Structures are given as structure tokens and as C-alpha cells.
Amino acid sequence: MRIYDPIRGRAGGADARETPKEAAVADNSALADAKSAGTELFDTSEKVFEDIQAEPGETAFTFMHTVPYEGSVGLVNLLTTTRVRRKGFDTSLVLYGPGVLMASGTRGFPKVGDEAFPGHMAINNQLKTMIDEGVHVYACRFASGALYGFPEDLLLDGVKPFHPLDVLDAALTAWRQKAFQLNTWTV
């Protein structure tokens, strides 16, 4: 009987030389000290691309049609949008479809604003940071009401509700301004 040997990448027989289990396991003893806090694991001193900063009048738009907390994409793109703002771009965040759920001002458990577990309020906290730092945040009225049944007065303070036809016009505005655009579409 021939048995596939994943170490050698070929079939071997009963008479094939056996590979000891130790040879199939990576030797991590050199990394034993890596678990110590502050141990540098990566060289971050070299940046490959230029550190771009906005020139006067430059704009950026992030369009998000994504379900909050169903993966990391929503939070990661909020962090990226915050970074774009900090580079000096006049930045707008356009939430539509399930993305409007990110701007719910009634999130929390057992009370609004309570963090049920670490990270539970990360999206709301990041949106508040963005608004405080000057990002224009918009949420589609149609998605809020027709799709998810929450009125616009339940949106986070600082989030401006908009007409559903403004999704396209926001994209055309970004195009006309030659703005940087980040688009996320997940379901």
C-alpha cells in the first residue's frame, strides 16, 4: 500500500523511509522570547511609498454599503477614512444600504452607549472621532427607514441624513472633483 507523504510531496510505501514527527514541525524555539511585550517582530522603518498629504482643496469620499460587525471591512474602512482626513483631505463618508446601520445612535447594551464587551462600540466610537475631526458623515434616509425601520433622529449626532438619489450625485460630485474614492460593497 502506498501512502501519500505530505513532507516529501510524493507517495511512499511501507518500506519508504519514515520521517520523524519532529522534522514535520517547525522549530519555534528561536521565537520563544517573542511573547514578551515590546519585542519587535517586524522592521517598520522602511516605507515603500511616499507619505502623501493633501494639497489645498483636495477631497476624499468613502462610500460604504456594508453590514457593521459582520466582518472587519466596516471598521477598517472607518479607520482608513480617519487616516485620510488626518492627511488633510476634506473627507466625506457616505453610508447607504446596510451601511446606515453603522451610524445607529441607539447601539449599546443594556443601555445606549454601554459597551457589552471590548470592541462592541468600536464603530460608534470611530464615527464620533471622525465627526469630531471634521469628516462629513451622511446616511441614506431610504435605507434607514424603508429597509431597517429606524427614523433619522436615531442616527448618531452629527450624521446628516440624505435623499436616496444623493448616493449617485455624491459619487458624481467625487468624480467631478477628481477626489480620492474608497468604495466598499458587501452584503
The CATH number of the domain where 140 resides is what? 3.40.1260.10
130 within domain boundaries: yes
Domain that holds residue 105: 59-185
Number of domains comprising the chain? 1
Cβ–Cβ under 8 Å, residues 133 and 85:
yes
Is residue 164, in this structure, part of any structural domain at all? yes
131 belongs to a structural domain: yes
How confident is the model at residue 37, as a pLDDT? Answer: 80
H/E element holding 74?
helix 73-86
The answer for residues whose C-beta is within 8 angstroms of residue 151's C-beta and 6 or more apart is: 144, 145
38 falls within a domain: no
Predicted local confidence at residue 61, as pLDDT? 98
- pLDDT digit string, tens, across residues 15-36: 545 555 555 555 566 566 667 7
Q: How confident is the prediction for the chain on average, in pLDDT? A: 87
Q: Is residue 77 part of a domain?
A: yes
d(CA 106, CA 155): 8
- Is residue 80 a part of any domain in this protein? yes
- Residue 7 maps to a domain: no
- pLDDT tens profile 71-126: 899 999 999 999 999 999 999 999 999 999 999 999 999 999 999 999 999 999 99
